[in-house]
Amino acid sequence: MWNKFGPYSCTLNIDEVEDIEKTWAELAVKINEPVDKVKQGIQLVKDMFIVLDHTRTILITISDGSLPSNVGGGGNVRNILRRVLFILKKNGWWEKLGLEGFLEIFEAHKTDLMGIYGKFKEYKSFGEIIKVEYERWLHTDDVQALNLEKLIKKKGGKLSMDDWIMCMQSWGIAADKISEICKAPIPGNLYYEIATRQERVGKAAETILYSTIHLPETVNLYYADSHALSFSAECLTVFNNVLMKNRRNLVILN
In sequence order, what are the beta bridge partners of 241? 247
236 phi and psi angles, rounded to 5 deg: -85, -40
3-state SS, the chain, equals CHHHHHHHHHHHCHHHCCCHHHHHHHHHHHCCCCHHHHHHHHHHHHHHHHHHHHHHHHHHHHHCCCCCCCCHHHHHHHHHHHHHHHHHHHCCHHHHHHHHHHHHHHHHHHHHHHHHHCCCCCCCCHHHHHHHHHHHHHHHHHHHHHHHHHHHHHCCCCCCHHHHHHHHHCCCCCHHHHHHHHCCCCCCCHHHHHHHHHHHHHCCCCCCCCCCCCCCCCCCHHHHCCCCCCCCCCEEEEEEEHHHCCEEEEEEEC
115 phi and psi angles, rounded to 5 deg: -65, -20
Q: Does residue 229 carry a pLDDT above 70?
A: yes
At residue 141, the pLDDT reads 64
Q: What's the pLDDT band for 79 if we cut at 50, 70, 90?
A: confident
Digit-coded pLDDT (tens) for 172-181: 787 888 888 8
At residue 166, the pLDDT reads 87
At residue 193, the pLDDT reads 84
Spatial separation of the C-alpha atoms in residues 178 and 168, rounded to whole Å: 8
At residue 62, the pLDDT reads 94
Q: Does residue 104 carry a pLDDT above 90?
A: yes
Taking all residues of the chain, what is their mean pLDDT, rounded to a whole number? Answer: 88
Average of per-residue pLDDT across 108-125: 93
Digit-coded pLDDT (tens) for 13-22: 877 777 788 8
Q: What single letter denotes the amino acid at residue 227?
A: H
Residue 41: which of 6, 7, 65, 72 has the closest Cα?
6
Q: Does residue 102 carry a pLDDT above 90?
A: yes
Helical pair 190-202 and 161-169, crossing angle rounded to 10 deg: 70
Q: Does residue 74 carry a pLDDT above 80?
A: yes
Digit-coded pLDDT (tens) for 51-64: 999 999 999 999 99
Average of per-residue pLDDT across 82-86: 91
Cβ(145)–Cβ(173) below 8 Å: yes
At residue 132, the pLDDT reads 93
Digit-coded pLDDT (tens) for 119-130: 999 999 999 999
Q: What's the pLDDT band for 114 if we cut at 50, 70, 90?
A: very high
Q: What's the pLDDT band for 247 if we cut at 50, 70, 90?
A: very high
